[in-house]
């Protein structure tokens, strides 16, 4: 694995435009629970999984009320901080190599770590904001939760009166076509594609990896378990992401 990390590091050193795709694995070391594991959010709380389906959310006021109540009391991810893996990608940006950071995560930890807003594409949205399901109203999640705590069980859109929801892409909702096009373009334009903490199983964003390879980029995969596209990769690095990614991105010394 030291060999693989060293090889990946050399590829990053040689690259000029690195497009990065991150998944849940980079946030695990920040203490974020996954969804479907033994201690996953949905395993422990099946109602939360039902609320993640857009048709159920729209049609069932009980699901919405309990969803808002859970968010308001839970402070779900309030104490979660970025880890060394996130810092490594900030370092990549400071070196002038980061072309685009595409994330499947909805935790905003890349921005909180210090990556520039304009270089981050949240392909599955964010739980830290709310949006209206009818108009283009958008606000901080905290503003909506303040209304819930003040007694509104299912706070409507202040502009048009329709439903508010966390600004995530729920099951049954399409990705933002502008974001998807931007991600695909960045896959074509990069000379190195770095996939981190994702099994590359979620379509269509996983296809950015083969798109990059087809366009001539090198592919480095950093993940604790096998991925769909390991066979396409120039290097696959296993192990703890918060330990190996700083090495690969030049934030930590090799073997240090
Ligand atoms: Zn609205």
User: Which residues are in the CB-under-5-Å shell of ion ligand 1?
Assistant: 132, 134-135, 137, 157, 159-160, 162
| pLDDT, mean of each 10-residue run, the chain (256 residues) | 89 98 91 69 74 91 93 72 97 98 95 97 95 96 95 97 95 92 98 97 95 98 95 96 97 81
Give the distance (Å) from ligand 1 centre to CA of residue 202: 29
Catalytic residue among 86, 91, 99, 124: 124
Burial of 253 (0-12, 13-18, 19+ CB in 10 A): exposed
| pLDDT score of 29 | 85
Label residue 172 left, alpha or beta by phi (over 0 means left) and psi (-120 to 50 means alpha).
Answer: left
- 83, 98, 214, 176 alpha-carbon torsion, rounded to 10°: 80
Give the distance (Å) from ligand 1 centre to CA of residue 12: 44
Give the distance (Å) from ligand 1 centre to CA of residue 157: 5
Active site residue 110: no
Phi/psi at 102 (5° precision): -95, 130
Query: What CA–CA distance (Å, rounded) separates 217 from 8?
Result: 13
Give the distance (Å) from ligand 1 centre to CA of residue 127: 18
Phi/psi at 177 (5° precision): -65, -30
| pLDDT score of 163 | 98
Give the distance (Å) from ligand 1 centre to CA of residue 107: 23
| pLDDT score of 171 | 83
Give the distance (Å) from ligand 1 centre to CA of residue 156: 8
Domains of the chain: 2-32+82-124+174-248 (3.40.50.1220), 41-76+127-168 (3.30.1600.10)
């Amino acid at each position: 694995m030291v060999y693989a990390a060293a090889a990946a590091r050399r590829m990053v050193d040689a690259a000029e435009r690195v497009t990065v795709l991150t998944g849940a694995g980079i946030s695990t070391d920040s203490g974020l629970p996954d969804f479907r594991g033994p201690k996953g959010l949905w395993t422990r709380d099946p109602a939360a999984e039902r609320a993640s389906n857009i048709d159920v959310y729209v049609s069932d006021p009980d699901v919405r009320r309990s969803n808002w109540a859970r968010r308001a009391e839970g402070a779900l991810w309030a104490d979660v901080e970025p880890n060394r893996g996130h810092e490594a990608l900030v370092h990549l940006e400071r070196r002038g190599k980061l072309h685009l950071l595409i994330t499947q995560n909805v935790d905003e930890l890349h921005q909180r770590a210090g990556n520039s807003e304009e270089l981050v594409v949240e392909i599955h949205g964010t739980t830290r904001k709310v949006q209206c399901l009818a108009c283009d109203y958008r606000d901080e999640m905290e503003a909506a939760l303040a209304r819930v705590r003040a007694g509104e069980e299912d706070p409507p859109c202040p502009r048009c009166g329709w439903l508010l929801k966390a600004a995530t892409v729920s099951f049954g909702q399409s990705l933002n076509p502008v974001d998807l096009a931007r991600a695909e373009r960045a896959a074509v334009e990069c000379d190195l594609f770095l996939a981190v903490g994702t099994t590359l199983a979620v379509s269509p964003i996983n296809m950015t990896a083969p798109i990059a390879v087809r366009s001539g980029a090198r592919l480095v995969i950093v993940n604790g378990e096998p991925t769909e596209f390991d066979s396409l990769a120039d290097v696959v690095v296993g192990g703890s992401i918060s330990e190996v990614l700083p090495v690969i991105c030049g934030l930590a010394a090799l073997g240090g």
